[in-house]
């Protein structure tokens, strides 16, 4: 489950508030300005940026590779994924992906720059076989190299792994495994449409530990259909027993284009997902329980065992304005002040690359003020924002720029301003995404997010 590249389907929210029940829509903020503002008419902006030397060559550069294949579509999934693809389909996509990276690597904006981080997301990157992964690495390395990258993250679905494949991941340079556990209860996994069951989780995790990676993350989802207090506490017990370096916990949502949302509309049923106060309580209990087990909160969704060692470079860099090359169908990127997204239909994506064109779909150049807002709201999701770096980068004091919003949210108990630091309270951290639109420019507060 990718943290950034796939955009959530929009549900407008009022800062600090939302319906108590989990209705169809999404509130997760992963970028700014809203995706609904990205347009085809701005494509010349990203094309121009690609064709010129970077204005800020010191900006860290990352690469996102979208692998859109899955064994089955989860009932809560809103990402661009395809099931039942055969080896020929995968080969065609891999060739197109390699061609896209090659085209980008020769652009003046990219040529000569080193990759700081790489992220294989999906979909299910681990859907590919060991042989396919090795072939893809060879093709990609003909254009770019991640041998010196600080982090190479690879998302895995437990049931797609084998010991051979895990060894292959190590061989191709993966440094951070992200295992999509979601829940440890087989009934809940089946009800929510997950392809794997719990025995596959423990088997996959044993292989991962046997091979050894610098960083291992597991994903959990608070509030999957059928979740209960008792089961949630069992999940936390098992997560702590596994003792991964990082634990990511999402609160279950129902974006518009999910199977669950479609079923609700067609059958006229009420939301089958726990309400927001319950999900916030479950995440709060996770923070408390895992904290007693030695974990530390690193964001509203993440805990780490060792804050000095366990860093999520992809998140840290993207949330601080890094350039991100988006490759693969429907993926989102950012380059030298311009947001962009690739074509979001597989046939269109393949056709563009097979014709020798980059598969660009829409874009949005952002102003320095919008860049300031983007970095501030994303870093606020980490729970602590120092004022100094923003003053140095943007020449702005956050306490002055957002005085009214900070004051309202401080009065409501969501945050405190302590000297040169803006710090969310636990109350604010548990529902941070509902707070962020208040910092948007007025024109963006009432528009659809996607």
The reported pLDDT for the residue numbered 25 is: 67
Which tokens sit at 428? 């604010």
What is the b/e burial string over 216-237, where b = at least 16 CB atoms within 10 angstroms of the residue's CB?
bbbbbbbbbbbbeeebbeebbe
Residue with the two structure tokens 């239909």: 345
8 Å CB contact between 127 and 69: yes
The residues, any chain, with a CB within 8 Å of residue 335's CB and separated by 6 or more, are 46, 49, 50, 109, 323, 324, 325
The reported pLDDT for the residue numbered 141 is: 97
- DSSP class per residue in 273-289: SPPHHHHHHHHHHHHHH
The residues, any chain, with a CB within 8 Å of residue 353's CB and separated by 6 or more, are 96, 99, 100, 103, 359
| DSSP designation for 174 | -
Which tokens sit at 227? 């979740």
Which tokens sit at 155? 């998302």
The reported pLDDT for the residue numbered 18 is: 53
- The pTM score is 0.94
The domain segmentation of the chain, as residue ranges, is: 35-317
Q: Does the structural domain 35-317 have CATH classification 3.80.30.20?
A: yes
- All residue ranges of the chain with pLDDT < 50 are 1-17
Q: What's the pLDDT tens digit per position in 393-418?
A: 999 999 999 999 999 999 999 999 99
């Amino acid at each position: 489950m990718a943290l950034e590249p796939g955009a959530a389907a929009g549900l407008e929210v009022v800062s600090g508030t939302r319906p108590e029940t989990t209705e169809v829509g999404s509130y997760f903020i992963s970028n700014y300005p809203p995706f609904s503002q990205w347009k085809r008419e701005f494509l010349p902006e990203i094309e121009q940026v690609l064709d010129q030397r970077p204005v800020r060559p010191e900006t860290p550069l990352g690469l996102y590779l979208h692998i859109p294949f899955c064994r089955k579509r989860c009932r809560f999934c809103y990402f661009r994924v395809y099931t039942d693809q055969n080896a020929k389909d995968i080969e065609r996509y891999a060739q197109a992906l390699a061609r896209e990276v090659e085209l980008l690597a020769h652009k003046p904006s990219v040529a000569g720059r080193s990759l700081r981080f790489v992220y294989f997301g999906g979909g299910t990157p681990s859907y590919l076989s060991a042989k396919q992964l090795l072939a893809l690495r060879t093709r990609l390395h003909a254009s770019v190299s991640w041998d010196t990258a600080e982090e190479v993250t690879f998302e895995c679905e437990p049931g797609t792994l084998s010991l051979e494949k895990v060894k292959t991941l190590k061989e191709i340079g993966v440094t951070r495994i992200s295992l999509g556990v979601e829940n440890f209860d087989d009934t809940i996994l089946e009800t929510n449409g997950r392809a794997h069951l719990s025995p596959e989780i423990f088997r996959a995790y044993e292989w991962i530990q046997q091979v050894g990676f610098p960083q291992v993350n597991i994903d959990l989802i608070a509030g999957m259909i059928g979740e209960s207090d008792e089961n949630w506490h069992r999940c936390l017990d098992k997560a702590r027993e596994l003792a991964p370096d990082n634990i990511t916990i999402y609160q279950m949502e129902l974006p518009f284009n999910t199977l669950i949302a479609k079923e609700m509309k067609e059958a006229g049923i009420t939301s089958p997902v726990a309400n927001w106060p319950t999900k916030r309580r479950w995440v709060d209990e996770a923070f408390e329980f895992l904290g007693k087990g030695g974990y530390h909160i690193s964001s509203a969704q993440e805990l780490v065992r060792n804050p000095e060692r366990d860093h999520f470079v992809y998140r840290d860099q993207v949330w601080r304005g890094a350039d991100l090359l988006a490759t693969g169908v429907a993926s989102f990127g950012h380059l030298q002040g311009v947001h962009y997204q690739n074509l979001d239909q597989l046939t269109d994506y393949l056709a563009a690359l097979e014709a020798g064109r980059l598969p660009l779909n829409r874009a949005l150049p952002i102003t320095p003020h919008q860049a300031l807002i983007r970095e501030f709201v994303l870093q606020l999701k980490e729970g602590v924002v120092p004022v100094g770096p923003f003053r140095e980068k943007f020449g702005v004091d956050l306490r002055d720029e957002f005085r009214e919003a900070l004051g309202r949210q401080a009065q409501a108990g969501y945050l405190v301003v302590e000297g040169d630091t803006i710090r969310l309270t636990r109350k604010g951290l548990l529902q941070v995404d509902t707070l962020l639109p208040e910092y948007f420019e007025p024109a963006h507060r009432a528009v659809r997010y996607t």
